[in-house]
Amino acid sequence: MNNKKIIITMVVTISVLIICAATMAILKLSGIDLLKIAKSNNNNTLEERKVAEIDLDDTEGTVEDKIIDKKIEEIQNIDFSSTSTNQTLVNFISTSRANALNRELYVDMEERNVQEDYEEVKTYKPLSEVQISFNMDVSKPTGISKEDFISLVQRMRYDRTGILKANAGVIWECCQKYNVNEIFVLGICGIESAWCSAPQHQRAHNYASLMSGGKLIPYATDADGFEAMIKLLGQRYLTPGAGCYHGATITGVGTCYCNTTTWPPKVYKCMQQVFQ
């Protein structure tokens, strides 16, 4: 009987130690830096368990963190045999884990946002690599930067009015938005309004001869006129399946825009003049 009692006592003691060790491990995994939680007397019974110190340097100082701090301060004289105490610990650990998970998710989202911002940085080709041809795909922008396009237009000898120079940035932005080649747009302005010099086109702010009822459509500003032109080209002439789509070439656009005989070569000649 004595041996049996000794064995039972050892089993109970080991079980208590395992439970204590497991509880401390869970608390550590939950982000709590526990320096002291128990004191033992000579009879090996737990008389006092306290949370002595917590390192708050790593916390964000959020409301949730302050609530956790308060909970830590309230843990005194824990009775591990109490069902309510065990449930309190479970709730506390769950809250700690949730807060830790939320912080990890926030950091992960921030890192993803930085990565997405980085991936949005576009590499442009140098101006010297821009090439044009009569049968080129005019539904694709040149691939040069806004600064290089503005610099190109500023050097154009045929822009005697300065209208293209003043609106070069708007033209580039609209071409990226509606997928139209910037040099193609300049070529159309060259043939349709004599490089934006025709008085009637200047009064209407319409340099691409967009018509309604046999008259030029008037726009409030040059920027409005250029955007209307580029939007029309991109959505009606250069989008497969659209009403005026006959291929993404100069000749394809000319099928509905003007004609397929004289207009395409004249537009292409003006496109070549952009680089002269």
Mark whether 224 and 197 lie in a shared domain: yes
**Do 94 and 131 belong to one domain?**
no
Phi, psi (degrees; rounded to nearest 5) at 216: -65, 135
Mark whether 66 and 187 lie in a shared domain: no
Residue 226 has pLDDT above 60, yes or no: yes
**Residue ranges making up the domain that contains 135:** 127-273
Residue 72 has pLDDT above 60, yes or no: no
Of the residues 119, 149, 168, the one at which a domain ends: 119
Residues 134 and 207 in one domain: yes
Mean pLDDT of the chain: 79
Task: Enumerate the β-bridge partners of residue 215.
Answer: 212
Distance CA 155, CA 164 (A): 11
Q: Is 111 found in the same domain as 38?
A: yes
Q: What is residue 276's predicted lDDT score, i.e. its pLDDT?
A: 92
At 254 the pLDDT is 97
pLDDT of residue 221: 98
The tally of domains found in the chain comes to 2
pLDDT at residue 261, rounded to an integer: 96
41 pLDDT band, cuts 50/70/90, is: very low
- 237 contacts 249 by C-beta, under 8 angstroms: no
Residue 24 clears pLDDT 90, i.e. is over it: no
Residues 115 and 132 in one domain: no
Each residue of 227-238: pLDDT tens digit?
Answer: 999 999 999 999
At CB < 8 A and 24+ separation, what contacts does 92-95 make? 92/68, 93/26, 93/27, 93/30, 95/64, 95/67, 95/68, 95/71
Top-confidence residue, 254 or 11: 254
Distance CA(118)–CA(112), nearest Å, equals 10
What is the pLDDT, as a whole number, of residue 10?
73
Q: What percent of the chain has pLDDT over 70?
A: 58
Tens digit of each residue's pLDDT (9 = 90 or more) over 56-68: 444 455 665 666 5
Beta-strand relationship, 211-212 and 39-40: unpaired
Q: What are phi and psi of 194, to 5 degrees?
A: 50, 55
Let me know whether 139 and 229 are in one domain.
yes
Above 80 in pLDDT, residue 274?
A: yes
Q: Same structural domain for residues 40 and 9?
A: yes
Assess whether pLDDT exceeds 70 at residue 22.
no
**209-225, pLDDT tens digit by residue?**
999 999 999 999 999 99
Cα 136-142-147 angle, rounded to 5 deg: 155
Tell me: do 232 and 143 sit in the same domain: yes
What are the φ/ψ torsions at residue 211 (nearest 5 degrees)? -115, 155
Last residue of a domain, one of 85, 119, 153: 119
> Could you read off the pLDDT of 155-165 as tens digits, one per residue?
999 999 999 99
Contact indicator for 130, 144 with CB cutoff of 8 Å: yes
Q: Are 82 and 49 in contact (CB under 8 A)?
A: no
Task: Report helix, strand or coil for 48.
Answer: strand
Q: Are 191 and 266 in contact (CB under 8 A)?
A: yes
C-alpha span between 232 and 226 (Å, rounded): 10
Residues 80 and 143 in one domain: no
- Residue with the two structure tokens 């395409």: 264
Residues 85 and 138 in one domain: no
Tens of pLDDT along 141-177? 999 999 999 999 999 999 999 999 999 999 999 999 9
CATH of the domain at 138: 1.10.530.10
**pLDDT tens-digit map of 81-139:** 555 555 655 565 566 566 656 666 665 666 666 555 544 567 999 999 999 999 999 99
Kindly compute the dihedral angle of the four CA atoms of residues 32, 34, 37, 42, in this order, to the nearest 10 degrees: 150
Out of 88, 119, 150, a domain closes at: 119
How many C-alpha atoms does 262 have within 13 Å on its Cβ side? 3
Over residues 26-37, mean pLDDT: 50
- Over range 11-28, report the average pLDDT: 65
Please tell me whether residues 97 and 140 are part of one structural domain.
Answer: no
